[in-house]
Structure 1
Amino acid sequence: MLIQRYSLGNVVRYGFLSKGNGIIDIMQIFSIIKEKEQVNMDIINLTINIKFCRISYHEKDWVERKTKCDYTIWNIISGGLALQINDQTLYAKEGDVLLFHPGDTYKAWCHDDDHCYFLVTFFSISSGNVIDILTQKSTAGLYTNNFVKEISIRFCDEYTTCHDNEDTHNLKLYAAFLNFFADLSSQFGEQLPFHTSSDSVSDQRLHSLLDFISKHVESNLTVREMAEFMSMSEKYFSGYFHFHIGMSPKQYLTKCRMTHAIQLLSDPDNSISEIAGRLHFSDQYSFTKSFKKYYGETPGRFRKQHFYVHNAVTSSEYL
């Protein structure tokens, strides 16, 4: 267990990194907000779970159209990137940071360069029973200023250093991400947002639904149960979901399961057949076929290529 103290301006954070399950618990966050000479203090319990972290490299002809299943951060390392989301186009450059919420549907491509590459981090964050605290704070958007560039470059450098040290990189990378995220939180509200205020009511309903799906990714969730959660008929719900998310509920659930499969593969105690069962595939063959269709390689090959296992501690090459 590693205990650290994080200070940023008037925000002091204490937390520990749990070696067993890869979860960072910030046991106390003392946020002291000074406004009109008044001081308010909140004590919040947070849990941050980093699901996946790796460098993604793309050539100039790369185009990606996706809907995010998790909170996701892109730290732009090199090249230019264009992002089309919610009828607007944003341009990110080296040092910029993009923060996505679950359900964000976008189109991305290389811009003005023959390549672009960036560090991708999938994570979840909750406070007590509140799962979507970032959504409530409208934190999705493009972060671009000198301070963001400084902390982003530092985090990417720390990622490289941690990646080169197999014995300690797991915990060190979690600590590096925690520091980076604490710094980035000071910029919440300063970003170029993905969403406008007119989207807020619809967003709240969608994010509640997506959180419901995320929490039941290992259950045999049906479209009817999703529709009931939204108090809609199954037919109306399917059309509503496709209109807002850009894919059918079943397609989205498959994407969530494939993302969760990566997290399960990072634990050497989970056999591929067990993972197939937990994700409610009929058998290992069906799971392997779906996984290969989604990621371009089998679960076994993906595990060997992207994850280290040593000393009973799961250490992904990228986590």
Structure 2
Amino acid sequence: MSHRQYSFQNTNIEKLNARLLSIALAKDEKDWQSVLHTHHFTEIFFVVNGEGNFLFHDETHHIKAGDLVIVPPYMEHTEQSIKGMPLEYYVIGVDGVSFQPADEKTCVQVFCNFNNKSLIEDLLSQMLYEVRNSSYGSDKICQNLLEILILRIARHQHVIPVPLTSTYMTKECARIKEYLDIHYSEQITLDTLTELTHMNKYYMAHSFAKYTGQSPIQYLNQRRMEAACTLLTDTDHSISSVSSSVGFSSQSYFTQAFRKKYGITPIKYRQLHAQSGSEEYP
């Protein structure tokens, strides 16, 4: 009889303060409307069967069995099945943690495919079983299974699980984001947002950047540019009209900002998009 003993080498991993908020196994049966939405927590979405698309505000990803998607807090998203191939998936809500690439400082959405689908599916099914059949130690078992899941994702995708700060601040930042999404065409300053949240101006700007990777004004300009691109491609409004419709104080400033972001003028963007009819342009 052969016998070989293995020793573990301890890994210096920061304690995870992740907490399981919810878990569900769902199937798309066309009984609800797929619309963009957000959560105040991190969402982990794992496809068991079917095929479809995972949509964010400005991008779409094809998904299939074995695909896992991580959505940071307050990022707009939804999923849609391909006709005849309804998505069946696990979805869990996790508080206190999100993920970022090792070489970046902001949390991002993560896409990965596990060829060994059962590796992840088994963890999730055990978590669901414990939640459905709550008994002695179920919460501890779920917590340990969640930490195993997080570590497997981190190992597979070379991302770092990072702690998220207080829910209170997250909600304040979400309120700012929602306000900017709706009122981007209006004249907005940091003072406007300070009055909205009753927070110190500089603390508010720093906190918003921590959660979104952008300052409030950078995010505002991004929303204005996205709206401008839609008007340039879908309407025949003049450049001046487009500029004022999305909140710029002057056409010249709008043209300057547009060229800085996209490398071409609004007029050239409209012309190129009309010629190609296509998705080559933002």
Q: Report the TM-score when normalising by structure 2.
A: 0.50
Instruction: State which of 71, 84, 101 in structure 1 corresponds to 2:42.
Output: 71
2:27 to 57, 74, 77: 57
| Structure showing the higher strand proportion among its residues | 1
Amino acid at match of 1:212: M
Alpha-carbon RMSD across the aligned residues, in angstroms, is 4.2
| Aligned twin of 1:110 | 81
Is 2:20–2:142's contact at 8 Å kept on the other side of the alignment? no
**2: CA distance, partners of 1:242 / 1:226:** 23
Equivalent residue, structure 2, for 1:182: 151
Letter in 2 for 1:213: T
**SS of corresponding position for 1:115:** coil
Match of 2:205 in 1: 230
**How far apart are 1:65 and its partner, in Å?**
1.1
- Tell me by how many angstroms 1:208 deviates: 9.0
Identity of aligned residues (%): 11
The structure whose Rg is larger is: 2
Report the CA distance shift for 1:178/1:86 in structure 2 as closer, same or farther (over 3 A): same
* Residues 1:172 and 1:46: Cα distance change in structure 2 (over 3 Å): closer
Distance 2:120 2:85 in 1: 22
- 2:133 is the counterpart of 1:153: no
Partners of 2:53 and 2:80 within 8 A in 1: yes
- Equivalent residue, structure 1, for 2:142: 173
Flag the structure with higher helix content. 2
Letter in 1 for 2:50: G
**For 1:122, what is the secondary structure of its paired residue?**
strand
Number of residue-to-residue matches in the alignment: 181
Q: Structure 1: which 5+ runs fail to align?
A: 1-9, 13-29, 32-42, 127-131, 191-206, 247-319
Work out whether residues 77 and 94 of structure 1, in 8 Å CA contact, stay in contact via their aligned partners in 2. Answer: yes
Query: SS of 2:198's equivalent?
Result: helix
- Structure 2 SS opposite 1:65: coil
* CA apart distance, 1:139: 5.1
> Cα 1:216–1:101, aligned 2, differ >3 Å: closer, same or farther?
closer
* Deviation of the 1:144 alpha carbon: 0.8
2: CA distance, partners of 1:155 / 1:166: 16
